Amino acid sequence: MLAGRNTAVIVAVFGLLAAGRALARTDTAKPKSRCRVPAGWRLVAKDSQAVIVQGLVSTSNGEGGMFSEQRWRYCVRAHGRFQTLVTNTGAQGGYQDILRVIALELSGSYVAYDTDDFLGGGRYGTIDGDVHLQNLSTGTSASSGGGCCFNPPTVILSPTGVALWQVENETTTPQGTPSSWTWSVQVLDDRTGKSSTLDSAPAIPSPSGGITTIPAFANLQLQQCLAGCSPSGATFAWWTYDGVWHSARLGHPV
């Protein structure tokens, strides 16, 4: 970047916030005992600010019967008590809406998870995937608004409350014409509570016909700009397409 009319180059300095599932839980601070995992529950994720566990609970299938279903609970270390985050719902083959949590990420006081939502039940329902983002400290939450994902996305989450992922979606076409498939890089920002598309590209045709599920984008990352940019501390998304790096400023200072 250039400073005004001068020719001196200012180098922007970035600090990596997240670049995949392995980096979403790198906090090594010693856990506090006040969020100890309850008996019968399994630890799913933890960091210096929160703990998430998973277990089975008895719930209604929407048709007068009861069955066991998975539930996720969280504990903010500053509060020291567990609360319900999300529960799978709906019996396969029933008429009730079905929700299935696919994957979950924790970073600081934020959690992001993606779901397969079968609206109208598994018998005659339609799938409508979603990505959810929640601030565990304040309780505020946001979602991508449905229609998220044909294939479950790999969600990358930053401690500044930004979730990033890529998905493959089918574009509606006139009846009788071939379906059109597109990969897109999407982001969900706690600051705005809205999701947006940062980039898109057509899906790669398969040599044998049809569309492949090979992701069009690679190297998705979230970084915090530490110096040489405005505003200082803003979060940037980075990704590559055909080996070329692309970026977008998300304007989310810490």
pLDDT tens, position by position, 165-190: 988 877 666 666 666 778 899 999 99
pLDDT-based confidence at residue 6 (cuts at 50, 70, 90): very low
CB 197 within 8 A of CB 185: yes
What's the confidence (pLDDT) of residue 77? Answer: 95
What's the confidence (pLDDT) of residue 2? Answer: 34
Q: Is 58 exposed, middle or buried (0-12, 13-18, 19+ CB in 10 A)?
A: exposed
Mean per-residue pLDDT for 41-54? 96
45 contact partners, CB below 8 Å, separation of at least 6: 25, 51, 52, 104, 105, 106, 111
In-domain check, residue 4: no
Whether residue 62 has pLDDT greater than 80: no
Tally of CB atoms within 10 A around 34 = 13
Mean per-residue pLDDT for 150-162? 81
pLDDT-based confidence at residue 219 (cuts at 50, 70, 90): very high
What's the confidence (pLDDT) of residue 117? Answer: 66
The H-or-E segment that residue 121 falls in is: helix 121-124
In-domain check, residue 254: no
Residue with tokens 């089975």: 56
Tell how far CA 160 is from the center of its chain: 13
What's the confidence (pLDDT) of residue 4? Answer: 36
How far is 37 from 43, CA to CA, in rounded Å?
7
The answer to which of 133-142, 174-183, 187-196, 198-207 has the lowest mean pLDDT is 174-183
Tell me if residue 101 falls in helix, strand or coil.
Answer: strand
Encode burial over 197-206: b for 16+ CB neighbours within 10 A, e otherwise: ebbbeebeee
In-domain check, residue 136: yes
Whether residue 217 has pLDDT greater than 60: yes
In-domain check, residue 149: yes
In-domain check, residue 96: yes
**Whole-prediction pTM:** 0.76
In-domain check, residue 3: no
Mean pLDDT of the chain: 78
The domain containing residue 118 runs over which residues? 13-249
176 contact partners, CB below 8 Å, separation of at least 6: none
Mean per-residue pLDDT for 215-240? 87
Whether residue 34 has pLDDT greater than 60: yes
Q: Nearest Cα to 110, choosing from 79, 85, 144, 145?
A: 85
Number of domains in the chain: 1
Tally of CB atoms within 10 A around 224 = 23
Whether residue 124 has pLDDT greater than 60: no
In-domain check, residue 122: yes
The amino acid that residue 248 corresponds to is: A
What's the confidence (pLDDT) of residue 145? Answer: 74
In-domain check, residue 2: no
CB 104 within 8 A of CB 111: yes
List the structure tokens of 228.
């040489």
State the pairing for strand pair 162-171/156-157.
Answer: antiparallel
Percentage with pLDDT > 90 across the chain: 39
Q: Is 64 exposed, middle or buried (0-12, 13-18, 19+ CB in 10 A)?
A: exposed
Residue with tokens 């980039």: 199
Whether residue 64 has pLDDT greater than 90: no
